[in-house]
Amino acid sequence: MIKITFPDNSVKEFEAGISGLGIARSLSNSLAKEVLSITVNGEIWDISRPINEDSNIKLHTWDDAEGKYAFWHSSAHLMAEALEALYPGVKFGIGPAIEMGFYYDVDLGNDTVLSDKDLPKIEQKMLELARNKSEYQRTDVTKEEALQFFADKNEEYKIELINDLEDGTISFYKQGDFTDLCRGPHLPNTSYIKAIKLNSIAGAYWRGDEKRPQLTRIYGITFPKKKFLDEYVVMMEEAKKRDHRKLGKEMELFTFSQNVGQGMPLWLPKGAQLRESLETFLKRVQKKFGYEQVITPHIGNINLYKTSGHYEKYGADSFQAIQTPQEGEEYLLKPMNCPHHCEIYKFKPRSYKDLPIRYAEFGTVYRYEQSGELHGLTRVRSFTQDDAHLFCTPDQLKDEFKKVIDIIFIIFKALDFTEYTAQISLRDKVNREKYIGNDENWDKAEQAIIEAAEEKGLNTVVEYGEAAFYGPKLDFMIKDAIGRKWQLGTIQVDYNLPERFELEYVGSDNQKHRPIMIHRAPFGSMERFVAVLLEHTGGKFPLWLTPEQVVIMPISEKYNDYAQKVLNSLNNSDIRAVLDDRNEKIGRKIRDSELKKTPYLIIVGEKEATDGTVSVRRQGEGDLGSQSIQEFTDFINKEVEDQLSSIEKY
């Protein structure tokens, strides 16, 4: 008999060799029908895999990320089986599950080019194969056996992957007539897959290397029920309307230029105003929490990043070193702000009485992302982080951590992110070799995060093995208005950089000690945050944030002078107003303004010019009637004041 410990710490005994599916059946038949994967001692397994020793387990259904992972991983194999049946001789690269679905990189040969028109045919073949109820069968193989199998199939990509693996760690999965190199997990059989949608085709360099062959990447998603697919299709249609690239162009927020360079966003005046409003808001909040603004260069000596470890970690993804006229002197475009902040901390001796110290910077960093990975504002080569680094004593760590959570709450409230979970990322329970620092410091840091999250009443999930190499962290996962999940806001505890940079403070015992460093970025990056915000709001920002709060529309050019007078009055009262004096019909102007999501429209004609008033329309609500210029000014300023004061009351 073996002892199985469940997430609620209850323990039950089972015969050795029982599977996750068997455990689910022992609990309820309905659970057995829904379970898709199982975590055993921190590792995700097939639910059909036997458990032979005492274990901590957690069963996963479609509602869990781990359940979807097994489902979509299995679906990638099903698509590969369909491709092999339809295109004999196809060669396979990698086919992972991703956040929403899966993809497979394939080499169809020089004479075969897939297009979107081919996707329905592949979908139909997948459905046909799924109905066969083929079992996903796992087999452990030697490295020699694995190499021979794929050599016989002339699969050079798989052979390259196998050569990177250690003997004794290799497994195959087979379903139907298809066998793949894989460590799992997978579903029990293909019949679980009921609905399929292949979304798109793209090019992808093998192993992300532009010098290697370009493969065909096929993206797809599958579901256990047809209604889930129907809901997904509706969501994707809404997502197209909210695409930040589309809205950014329509609202004239940002653009890209090949002459400037890929992944280098250009912020247009309205986009710059939006960013400035976000920065001003966060600076205002940070000031109340005791932060000090700093500014650091866009480049740094290469040795700075070697000391921090970022050169080793990001060197391959950074722009090449900048050579100076002095021999042997090299600089890098900075990939991170934290090494610079460490040097600011070091510029003079510190006492425990000085701590905590909180440095904040909207610092622009640069990383050379592969061109195929670039995507609007969400994946760029130049981006600005709302970075801050806190230096504190061990006794201050938990309170400082909780205050950062407070700032993130304020931001979420300000921008109407109401649904979120917090992921506590801790060390691997078994493998401690990939982490630096001593166990005592790690235990304190992990406990501080756990206690801080508990005291703040966060809805949390704990993930072992997901900590950074230098310390545990807390990541906030938000759900947007149409149900998609995004990672926004991260807080990390770091014992590594203070050690590497030899940071010190003199304690109350008159001895030198290392401070603890907290990294935090509530927005993450301004670029990605604006992209998420655009898609969450559909471009309809709260009045305090919107770049153009009011557009003034004269009915004809006869009233342009009066419209200009209204504009000057509003701008003098810090209301962001613009004048639309184009020689267009008023209906066209209103439609254009609606497209740009401007909250308030002012229409002026003969009556308004005579009475000294404005006719007001609210986007989505229509006519609000006539007001004097001062009444409208007071109305707008009060709405902004009410919005900001309600946020800051948190």
Give the C-alpha distances (Å, rounded to integers) separating 384 from 82, 203, 365, 367, 530.
43, 28, 6, 11, 11
**Structure token pair of residue 42:** 């921190």
Q: Is 389 annotated as a binding residue?
A: yes
B/e letters for 491-501, b = 16+ CB within 10 Å, e = fewer, are: bbbbbbbbebb
Residues 143 and 162: beta-carbon distance below 8 Å:
yes
Identify the three-state secondary structure at position 464: strand
**Structure token pair of residue 238:** 């809404």
Give the C-alpha distances (Å, rounded to integers) separating 629 from 550, 613, 620, 621, 636.
13, 6, 22, 20, 11
Residues 128 and 210: beta-carbon distance below 8 Å:
no
Q: Which of 46, 386, 387, 475 is catalytic?
A: 387
Number of Cβ within 10 Å of residue 586's Cβ equals 15
Q: Is 341 annotated as a binding residue?
A: no
CA separation for the pair 606, 624 (Å, rounded): 18
* R_g of the chain, CA atoms, integer Å: 29
Number of Cβ within 10 Å of residue 338's Cβ equals 23
Identify the three-state secondary structure at position 481: coil
Q: Which of 186, 242, 367, 597 is catalytic?
A: 367
- Virtual torsion, Cα 592, 269, 284, 344, nearest 10 deg: 150
Q: Which of 275, 473, 589, 617 is catalytic?
A: 473
Going 72 to 73 to 78 to 82, the CA torsion angle's sign is positive
Q: Which of 182, 338, 342, 392 is catalytic?
A: 338
Residues 36 and 192: beta-carbon distance below 8 Å:
yes
Q: Which of 73, 275, 334, 385 is catalytic?
A: 385
Q: Please confirm, yes or no, whether 60 is among the known catalytic residues.
A: no
Q: Please confirm, yes or no, whether 338 is among the known catalytic residues.
A: yes
Q: Please confirm, yes or no, whether 367 is among the known catalytic residues.
A: yes
B/e letters for 226-244, b = 16+ CB within 10 Å, e = fewer, are: eeebeebeeeeeeeeebeb
> DSSP assignment of 83-100, as one string?
HHHHSTT-EE----EETT
**Structure token pair of residue 205:** 């360099």
Q: Please confirm, yes or no, whether 54 is among the known catalytic residues.
A: no
Q: Which of 358, 389, 398, 528 is catalytic?
A: 389
Q: Please confirm, yes or no, whether 389 is among the known catalytic residues.
A: yes
DSSP state of 468: B
B/e letters for 453-473, b = 16+ CB within 10 Å, e = fewer, are: beebebebeeebeebbebbbb
Q: Please confirm, yes or no, whether 182 is among the known catalytic residues.
A: no
Query: Three-class SS string for 240-305?
Result: HHHCHHHHHHHCCCEECCCCCCCCCCEECHHHHHHHHHHHHHHHHHHHHCCCEECCCCCEEEHHHH
Q: Is 342 annotated as a binding residue?
A: no
Number of Cβ within 10 Å of residue 80's Cβ equals 21
Q: Which of 125, 427, 484, 519 is catalytic?
A: 519
Q: Please confirm, yes or no, whether 385 is among the known catalytic residues.
A: yes
Residues with catalytic roles: 338, 367, 385, 387, 389, 473, 519
**Known binding-site positions for Zn(2+):** 338, 389, 519
- Return binding residues: 338, 389, 519
